[in-house]
Amino acid sequence: EWEAVRNGTGHTVYSGTVPLTTTQSGSTYNLTDGARGNHRTYNLNRGTSGTGTLFSGPDDVWGNGSPSNLESAGADAHYGAALTWDYYKNVHGRSGIRGDGVGAYSRVHYGNNYVNAFWSDSCFCMTYGDGSGNANPLVSIDVAAHEMTHGLTSATAKLVYSGESGGLNEATSDILGAAVEFHANNASDVGDYLIGEEIDINGDGTPLRYMDQPSKDGASKDNWYSGIGSIDVHYSSGPANHFFYLLSEGSGAKTINGVSYNSPTADGLPVTGIGRAKAEQIWFKALTTKFTSTTNYAGARTGTLAVAGELYGTTSAEYKAVQDAWAGVAVGS
């Protein structure tokens, strides 16, 4: 039996019509990404264990844009994994989650009315529910990149998923998930500092999380405080998400790709942003070379400052912006 890498087409739920890299095996096409370590996308068809079945068929066109066609969410998941792979490869020089060029896999249609998505270290895979009520399949670009980034964190800093390190783990997935969405440059799902704005999990069109002012979700914290390690990691992520927004874009009001933001600072002092590209380099390098399993907010400040010093020098505007952005979320000296 022969196999070949193919260029297919996905009609996704959230990202319009997109290119998908697939594999042709005999007369059958598969959602196996032959250009990205054979990352595969499986259909659990409402099951909750195993892999279900690899998406496959007689042609290289996947889904029709509607969630009722089971291939559509598969196309989103396959596309999101490819975008995340390409982001780490092209922007940070990392090939695959472990840096070994080996793909992972995605499973869609997990369970019944499951309103979540998750990364698992035990399967080294991502899993996506179909949502229920207003919530649609949880397969948008930022959600896929968020989950895949949990794999990166597991393979690098290994930030423990509780306490302040847990908040930093969650924030890392939001920060780099947003970065992937911006880099994707997809016309249907444009880049923003919102998480999960496509899936309508709240039923009123609001996103799951806001990086410019995390407290807008009603639960996340904008700024560090001494007890933050005892709240849910999806809320203690707030100060780090807010730090990243301030570092990239600066404080105050701003509109980007049609979305309006307003980012206040804890100390009332202004922060001048250094742009997303530099902020991404600082966070990624801190994650992969400075952070450890027990890094807390103070350690994240130290680690990102060390990286800013290495990349730009300790007298640079970038170094000062890292200092100011941490002070802006009440982490500092």
Instruction: Give contact residues for ligand ASN (rule: CB under 6 A).
Output: 116-118, 146-147, 150, 170
Per-residue buried b or exposed e for 160-191, using 16+ beta carbons within 10 Å of the residue's own CB: beebbbbbbbbbbbbbbbbbbbbbbebeebbb
Q: How far is the CB of 166 from ligand ASN (least distance, A)?
A: 10
Give the relative orientation of helices 276-289 and 238-249 as an angle to the nearest 10 degrees. Answer: 140
Q: In what order do the strands lie in the sheet with 56-57?
A: 56-57, 28-30, 17-25, 3-11, 61-62
Q: Is 310 a catalytic residue?
A: no
Three-state DSSP class for residue 36 = coil
Selection from ligand ASN, Zn ion, Ca ion, none that 242 binds (CB < 5 to 8 A by kind) is none
User: Please, which residue, 181 or 318, has the CB nearer to Zn ion?
Assistant: 181
- Please identify the residue of the shown chain whose CB is closest to the bound ligand ASN: 118
Selection from Ca ion, Zn ion, ligand ASN, none that 194 binds (CB < 5 to 8 A by kind) is Ca ion
Selection from Zn ion, Ca ion, ligand ASN, none that 192 binds (CB < 5 to 8 A by kind) is Ca ion
Member of 33, 76, 130, 142 binding Ca ion (CB under 5 A): 142
Residue 4 to residues 86, 125, 248: CA-CA distances in angstroms?
A: 20, 24, 41
Three-state DSSP class for residue 191 = coil
Q: Is 147 a catalytic residue?
A: yes
Q: Are 26 and 2 in contact (CB under 8 A)?
A: yes
Give the CA count within 13 Å in the CB-facing half-sphere of 76: 36
Binding interface with Zn ion (CB under 5 A): 173
User: Please, which residue, 22 or 237, has the CB nearer to Zn ion?
Assistant: 237
Selection from ligand ASN, Zn ion, Ca ion, none that 33 binds (CB < 5 to 8 A by kind) is none
Q: Which of residues 174-193 bind Ca ion (CB under 5 A)?
A: 181, 192
What whole-number distance in Å separates Cα of residue 251 and Cα of residue 245? 8
User: Please, which residue, 170 or 198, has the CB nearer to ligand ASN?
Assistant: 170
Q: How far is the CB of 7 from Ca ion (least distance, A)?
A: 26
What whole-number distance in Å separates Cα of residue 322 and Cα of residue 38? 38
Question: Pick the catalytic residue: 234, 242, 280, 318?
Answer: 234
| Active site residues per annotation | 147, 234
